[in-house]
Chains A and B, each alone.
Chain A
Amino acid sequence: GESVGLHLPTLSVQEGDNSIINCAYSNSASDYFIWYKQESGKGPQFIIDIRSNMDKRQGQRVTVLLNKTVKHLSLQIAATQPGDSAVYFCAESISNFGNEKLTFGTGTRLTIIP
């Protein structure tokens, strides 16, 4: 899961298993959340988003869960594949008419073991 500081949390999962990446966000006023995937040497790639009026949203092989009570966000990846190996960041923002600034979490490095 996520943690404060310079050390990047890591998670290793066997190929085909499900993975859960956790994120604790900081601002109770945040109402929009995004998960990004970043492969080495590349920019972040959008995975899935969720607004604060929802507690769950599903995409293709991915599910995001939001618990506003404890300010916790998670990303579930089903049936992991080698291509899922990357660093995953959660990001939070406050709606601001299109000028939403994102605050990124520290990231979690996911490694899929063949």
Chain B
Amino acid sequence: GAVVSQHPSRVICKSGTSVKIECRSLDFQATTMFWYRQFPKQSLMLMATSNEGSKATYEQGVEKDKFLINHASLTLSTLTVTSAHPEDSSFYICSASGPGTGENIQYFGAGTRLSVL
């Protein structure tokens, strides 16, 4: 149980385009989803926390207009990187937690590697 699916696993796009990443909880209701960014050989940095049906809470320094987060249902959250630029290239990972995951453990998706040309 507690499976989180993230799609796509890899995306390459041109500078200036927008990219949408989906995060789905497959076998539990994710009342809270989290979006992280990870640079090579570094730790995970939390970007934002989203609760179903509410606006996301962004961490300091994360541009909310740049990284649009939608958590419209208990099984789906999306992250849209708007007008992507090369400096947005990174590994983006989502996680989800909910009443059924036990101790509110966060379960992670497999990540999306974004490369902006």
Contact = CB atoms under 8 A, between A and B. Distances in A.
Interface of A: 6, 8, 32, 34, 36, 41-46, 49, 51, 89, 98-107
Contact of B93 (A8, A43, A98, A100): A43
19 contacts: A8-B41, A34-B105, A36-B108, A41-B111, A42-B111, A43-B4, A43-B93, A44-B93, A89-B44, A98-B31, A98-B98, A98-B99, A99-B51, A101-B34, A101-B46, A101-B49, A102-B34, A104-B43, A107-B42
B93 to A, nearest CB: 5
B41 A99 contact: no
B32 to A, nearest CB: 6
Interface of B: 4, 6, 31-32, 34, 41-46, 49, 51, 93, 95, 97-99, 103-111, 113
B103 to A, nearest CB: 6
5 closest Cβ pairs, A-B complex: A43-B108, A104-B43, A104-B44, A44-B108, A43-B111
B111 A100 contact: no
A32 B93 contact: no
B104 A44 contact: no
Given A44-B93, A103-B46, 8 more contacts: A32-B103, A43-B6, A43-B110, A99-B49, A100-B97, A101-B34, A102-B46, A106-B42
Contact of A98 (B4, B6, B32, B43): B32
Nearest to B42: A6
Contacts of B31: 98
